[in-house]
């Protein structure tokens, strides 16, 4: 059975995925964010879409050892160069509590960056899937 989804149906499927998903362009701008990702990162798509990933999710400025940003940038660059998925090791990357006091909350993530290859053979988009594994790193 072949069933083609309309654009609206694809958008609804993407937004309903339980996985935390972003879609990035080759310049690492956010072109899509699903609701699970927005909820987990305390952001809103209307405030993230069209902005650079590293602008929306900066390293914690109060943590001199924060290096999540550089690891993420390196992974995305590998995806662009190799045109293959890159699975990052678990890493610390704090997120800003935007809906409350603006402080940063320590989190640990497992992230996979997967390229979407265009007809010309180059990376057209990158699917960024994150899993918050903080509870596994620091059990309650």
For 126, the 3-state DSSP assignment is strand
Tokens 């699917």 appear where? Answer: 127
Domain of 45, CATH number, reads 3.30.450.20
Residue 32 belongs to what H/E stretch? strand 30-33
Q: Which domain holds residue 88?
A: 20-137
Higher model confidence: residue 64 or residue 14? Answer: 14
Residue 38: its H or E element: helix 35-40
Each residue's pLDDT tens digit, 84-132: 999 999 998 888 876 667 788 889 999 999 999 999 999 999 999 999 9
Three-state DSSP class for residue 120 = coil
- Residue 65 belongs to some domain of the structure: yes
Rounded to two decimals, what is the model's pTM? Answer: 0.89
């Amino acid at each position: 059975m072949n069933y083609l989804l309309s654009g609206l149906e694809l958008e609804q499927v993407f937004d309903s995925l339980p996985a935390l998903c972003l879609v990035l362009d080759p310049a690492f701008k956010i072109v899509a964010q699903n609701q699970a990702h927005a909820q987990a990162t305390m952001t809103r798509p209307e405030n993230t879409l069209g902005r650079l990933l590293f602008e929306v999710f900066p390293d914690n400025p109060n943590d001199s050892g924060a290096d999540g940003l550089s690891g993420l940038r390196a992974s995305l660059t590998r995806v662009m160069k190799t045109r293959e998925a890159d699975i990052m090791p678990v890493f610390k990357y704090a997120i800003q509590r935007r809906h409350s006091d603006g402080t940063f909350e320590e989190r640990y993530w497992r992230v996979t960056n997967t390229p979407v290859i265009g007809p010309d053979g180059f990376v057209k988009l990158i699917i960024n899937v994150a899993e918050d594994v903080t509870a596994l790193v620091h059990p309650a």
